Structure 1
Amino acid sequence: MSLYGVLRSGVSGMNAQSNKLGTVAENIQNSSTTGYKRASTEFSSLILPSSEGNYNSGSVTSRVRYTIADQGPIAYTTSGSDLAISGNGFFVVADPSGSPYLTRAGNFVKDGRTGNLINAAGFTLMGYKLGAGAVDPSLNSLDGVEPVNMASFGMQATGSTAGTFKGNLPFGQAVAVAPGVPTPPDSVLLEAPAISTGAQIEFTVGGVTERFTVTTQKNLTEVVAAINTTYGADITATDVSGDLVLTSTAGTAVAGSFTSVSKASSLQVYDKVGNPIKIDIALSKIDADTWSISVFNGSDPTKPLTGSTTMNLNFDANGKLDGSGVLSFNIPGGEAFNLDMSGMTQLAGEYNVTGSSNGNAPSAVKDVEFAADGTVYAVYEDGTRVGAYRIPLATVPSPDNLSPRAGNVYETTAASGGYQVGFPEMSGFGSIASGALEGSNVDIGTELTAMIEAQTSYTANSKVFQTGSELLDVLMNLKR
């Protein structure tokens, strides 16, 4: 056996254990680093050819591996922008030059200069923008991702386009249609009509049926004036001691009825620039299984709603609505609006309805919320939530073969394979928890044990080197 081989083996062993001590030191230093993945040193023997009578000492090689695929413990924090991945996947982040990286470090905060969400290492969280200009992500590419920046969502208004009006209409409600009392030969008397928005006066004269709907009129006097202005060529309306009398101008027979409002409600919507508009909703029971619903502009009656503003709701014997129950009309200065009433019932209970609509008034972003599926919501001062971005998760076929870089980020390598992109809670990907961080997967006890082992092996290899050096000195002194 060559003395040089002994020296080489001792040095090789010390170098290998030095590498191990280096990874142990790095692990201990980063035991509190968010999303850090433990490094370990693995050894492999390097055997040189030897003969029976002469052993040729080899050496040992070392290789550093990272347990990137191992989940770290999740701890909850007080910051809503702290994000932790539970399961498979990495956040996609970018450095200041725009180069993409992968990370599990989700300690993001808003950067005051750019408005981007950045983590403690200065990397920017990337996501896909929702709404207008949204892109469809590729399964194997990060094309289309952009910095998650909430500054562009400040102070905006959204016009209402859809709403719901649902609940129960009481089965025992009295029918609101009151037939007029004929006053032969040419008039009809409607007894003390209850004037309110949505009430209807229907009359037939000369074989023609007309319907007058109360909109801006507040009392019987105004109703009389409006009828005479609109239908004065055929009929004359008068107020007789609080009753409405309709008289034919041609002396022909007149029949009529008055439909009062059984129930009334309202719904607030918004036009394109965020002006609030109150939609008045009038409900009248016109027979045992039918209600009439009408909608009006309650904010400004001089700007009436256009489109389909009236319809009948028909209920079956079980109190369920027949038909779609969708009323479509146009909001003045706003969008086409669909009011969905498919959730209406007519049961033996009280009048109990609820309503909602989309859209919002001009409002500033006060907060950001993150959903488990990766959707980022801009939360406005009025409580409105708007989906702004969706955060993707990316992974690779072999995460442990990713290449670590400064800042607790990783790059893909030939051994790790290329990107696979998806969204949280999709098959093969984990979920995102807001207000939480994934800790390091380093165990201090394990590292201290590894340190003692490396120290012992380093000392033993140094003794090998020292002994070989002494033998070499003896050999050299033989010459003297």
Structure 2
Amino acid sequence: MGVFGALNAAVSGLSAQAFALENISGNIANAATVGYKRLDTSFSDLVGGGKGAQPGQIAGTVSANSRATNGLQGDLQQSQVDTYMGINGGGYFVVQGKAGEVDGRTIFSGNDLYTRRGDFEVDKEGRLVNGAGYYLMGQPIDPVTKNVSGSVPQIITIDNSVIPAVTTDRIRYEGNLPTTPQTSNQLGGGDELLDATLTKASTGAAPDAAAAGQTVGVDAINAADEVAFLNTSIAGEAITVYNSSGTPVNVQMRWAKTFEDNGTQPDTWSLYYLSDSAATGANPKWTKVSDAQFDSSAGNGGQMLVPANDAMTITGLAVDGEVVGDMTLDFGTGALTQFSDSNGSAKISKLTQNGYPSGDLAGISISEAGRLVASYSNGRTRELHEISLVSFSGEAWLERVDGGAFEVTPESGEPIAGAQGRIVGKRLESSNTDIADEFSKLIVTQQAYSANTRIVSSGDQMLQEAINMIR
């Protein structure tokens, strides 16, 4: 049986090396496949002969088995597509395959699969599908709390509806007003205070009550008095706010110093905004918001005393007929000051507002937190879904299916929510096949196959010799 045993072993060797060649060829063929995990080959010897002591055993045959490399990551390559994504570290995307269409709408298999292939793009139905035809799954994000809603991944569908406009109701205003404003009047040798001729009498209204010796700013500046007003005030910058229909409204502001600290009363400033740029004659053009007072004493120099709550209210804000509504002007705690400034101008460090116009969906991207983020034409962004990542206790035992996806097996265990890996946007994981390494394996496999054929040839010659003895 020695010659026949040798032939049997050689044939098993040929079969095993052919199996290895098949894996090598598959690896090389998929060297450019996104997210591909190569298959290595493991060889196991099958012992021949009887049981007992080692001298009683003889060389046996060989078997070949595939060994998965699911846990070996490929290189992450840069991409220009915003919806492409790769996993840096362990983990798998949760996907489902397409089962068909009903009335032009995609229906799904309902069977969760797992993949590292991240070349996802948005289809006509607003779903993210990769190059193998698998649809990405995730969990929706609550737009108010920014937390994930629910615990079960679902097919991601991107809502491309218009986001409505939000009316501005708060302006954050921080900065410094100069102790001595360099107005046109002051630069010409005059007083830096608001022109004393600008009183409420110009509008037919009664003046505010004032402390002794204090000049109070007027409630409105008529168009006819605008030149005097501009010459005795300084710019407070401008900001665009939005009304309920999303119409942009430009709010221009100016500060006028209306009282100089006399030892008993603090410095006082009045804030105005341009309410009607087309006003003429006796019609109001600039409207007063409110007064602000600052302590210029050594112990608390430059700090705002009034308003005590660090905020002013603009009642019924309207500019050129566009009504915005009531608005809070928030200065922040100690964020609006009065300190000496060589330029004599207002230095505004923060001027923001909380409204925005309506906007159309402009694009989709992946955040560093692994969330799907929508960008809109109005400059806003919104987190839509958190992309699900899962891991497995026995990922090497996942069963391969077409398109670089895997199915759960009893040996792999059930998916575990969360993974150590991190999703990276605009990246694609390349195949973990090393061409140079595969060609080295190819040479070894070819030599082993050739050597086994020599065993078959030698065994055939020996059998011929045995037959010739009978003749």
Q: What's the offset of the Cα at 1:292?
A: 5.9
Query: What amino acid is aligned across from residue 108 of structure 1 in structure 2?
Result: F
Question: How much has 1:28 moved relative to structure 2?
Answer: 0.4
Which of the numbers 164, 168, 171 marks the counterpart of 2:176? Answer: 168
Alignment partner, residue 413 of structure 1: 409
Instruction: Note the C-alpha offset of 1:5.
Output: 3.8
CA 1:451/1:278 → structure 2, altered by over 3 Å: closer, same or farther? same
Once the two structures are TM-superposed, the CA of residue 467 in structure 1 deviates from its matched residue by 4.7
Q: Which of the numbers 344, 358, 373 marks the counterpart of 1:377?
A: 373
Kindly provide the CA deviation profile for residues 395-419 of structure 1, in whole angstroms up to 9, marking residues without a partner as x.
3344434332211122333443433
Q: Which moved more, 1:330-339 or 1:94-103?
A: 330-339
CA contact (8 A) 1:284 1:292 kept: yes
Residue of structure 1 in register with 2:77 after alignment: 75
Cα distance in 1, alignment partners of residues 400 and 31 from structure 2? 16
SS of residue in 1 equivalent to 2:126: coil
Q: Using a 3 Å threshold, how does the CA distance of structure 1 residues 347 and 34 change in structure 2: closer, same or farther?
A: farther
Look up the match of 2:351: 355
Q: Does 1:317 align with 2:300?
A: yes
Could you tell me which residue of structure 1 aligns to residue 425 of structure 2? 433
Give the CA deviation at 1:154. Answer: 4.1
Q: Of the candidates 62, 65, 87, which is equivalent to residue 63 of structure 1?
A: 65
* Secondary structure in 2 matching 1:65: strand
Q: Find 2:219's aligned residue among 206, 211, 214.
A: 214
Which AA in structure 2 matches 1:143?
V
Could you give the per-residue CA deviations for residues 243-283 of structure 1, whole angstroms, max 9, x where no partner exists?
9xxxxxxxxxxxxxxxx865544433334442334456564
Contact 1:365 1:380 in 2 (8 A): yes
Within 2, Cα distance between the matches of 1:103 and 1:439?
13
1:147 pairs with one of 132, 156, 159: 156
Q: Give the residue type in structure 2 aligned to 1:127.
A: G
- Contact 1:272–1:334 (8 Å) recurs in 2: yes
Write out aligned runs for 1:75-94 (5 A).
Answer: 75-94=77-96
Q: Distance in 2 between matches of 1:370 and 1:116?
A: 14
Aligned 1:237-386 pairs, distance under 5 A:
263-279=235-251, 281=253, 283=255, 285=257, 298=275, 312=292, 317=300, 319=302, 325=310, 340-342=330-332, 343-349=335-341, 350-353=345-348, 354-386=350-382
Aligned to 1:230: none
Opposite residue 446 of structure 1, the aligned amino acid is: D
- Contact in 1 for aligned 2:253/2:274 (Cα 8 Å): no
439-448 vs 169-178, which deviates more? 169-178
Structure 1 residue matching 2:352: 3-state secondary structure: strand
Q: What one-letter code is carried by the residue in structure 2 that aligns with 1:341?
A: F
- Alpha carbons 1:153, 1:378 under 8 Å: kept: no
Deviation at 1:134, TM superposition (A): 7.6
Q: 1:351 to 1:417 in 2, by over 3 A?
A: farther
Which residue is 2:439 aligned to? 448
- Structural RMSD (CA): 4.6
Match of 1:239 in 2: none
1:124 to partner: Cα distance: 2.0
- Counterpart AA for 1:109: E
Alpha-carbon contact 2:198-2:218 (below 8 Å) kept: no
What is the Cα deviation at residue 466 of structure 1? Answer: 5.0
Q: Are 1:119 and 2:109 an aligned pair?
A: no
Of residues 77, 86, 99, the one that matches 2:111 is 99
Q: Name the SS for the 1:58 alignment partner.
A: strand
Distance 1:369 1:468, change over 3 A: same
Quote how far apart the aligned CAs of 1:40 are. 0.5
Q: Which residue in the other structure is 2:450 paired with?
A: 459
- Aligned to 2:209, the other structure's residue is in SS state strand
- Distance in 2, Cα, partners of 1:458 & 1:346: 89
Q: Name the CA shift for 1:466/1:372 in 2 (closer, same or farther; >3 Å).
A: same
Find the aligned partners of 2:138 and 2:325 in 1 and give their Cα distance: 30
1:13-41 CA-partner distances (Å, limit 9, x unpaired): 22222221111111101111112222211
Tell me if structure 2 keeps the 8 A contact 1:13–1:461.
Answer: yes
Give 5+ residue unaligned stretches, structure 2.
Answer: 99-107, 183-190, 278-288, 318-322
Q: 1:21 to 1:264 in 2, by over 3 A?
A: same
Q: For the residues of structure 1 that align with 2:13 and 2:464, how far apart are their CA atoms?
A: 21
2:208 is paired with a residue whose SS is strand
Contact 1:196 1:218 in 2 (8 A): no
Q: Given the alignment of the two structures, is residue 108 of structure 1 paired with residue 120 of structure 2, yes or no?
A: yes
Letter in 2 for 1:13: G
State the AA in 2 paired with 1:121: A
Query: Matches of 1:299 and 1:119 in 2, distance apart?
Result: 55
Tell me: CA distance 1:91–1:219, structure 2 relative to 1, closer, same or farther (3 Å).
farther
- Which whole-Å CA distance do the structure 2 matches of 1:134 and 1:142 have between them? 16
Which amino acid counterpart does residue 80 of structure 2 have in structure 1? T
Query: 2:24 aligned with 1:24, yes or no?
Result: yes
Distance 1:42 1:193, change over 3 A: same
Deviates more, 1:211-220 or 1:43-52: 211-220
CA distance in 2, matches of 1:338, 1:405: 60
1:202 is paired with a residue of what secondary structure?
Answer: coil
Query: Shift of the alpha carbon at 1:449?
Result: 0.9
Q: Is the 8 A contact 1:148 1:389 kept in 2?
A: no
Contact 2:163–2:358 under 8 Å retained in 1: yes
| Partner SS, residue 22 of structure 1 | helix
For the Cα contact (< 8 Å) 1:92–1:125, is it kept in 2?
yes
Per the alignment, do residues 373 and 60 of structure 1 end up closer, same or farther by CA in structure 2, a change over 3 Å counting?
same
Tell me the residue number matched to 2:14: 14
Who is 1:229 aligned against? none
| Alpha-carbon spacing, 1:311–1:92, altered in 2? closer, same or farther (3 Å) | farther
Counterpart code for 2:130: N
How many residue pairs were aligned?
414
Equivalent residues in 2 for 1:214-233, closer than 5 Å: 214=219, 218=223
What is the match of residue 40 of structure 2? 40
Task: Tell me how far apart the structure 2 counterparts of residues 275 and 159 of structure 1 sit (CA, whole Å).
Answer: 9
Read off the aligned partner of 2:112 and give its amino acid letter: P
SS of 1:20's equivalent?
A: helix
Q: Distance in 2 between matches of 1:442 and 1:384?
A: 42
Distance 1:453 1:397 in 2: 33
CA distance in 1, matches of 2:338, 2:113: 58
Unaligned regions of 5+ residues in structure 1, if any?
180-189, 206-210, 222-241, 244-259, 301-308
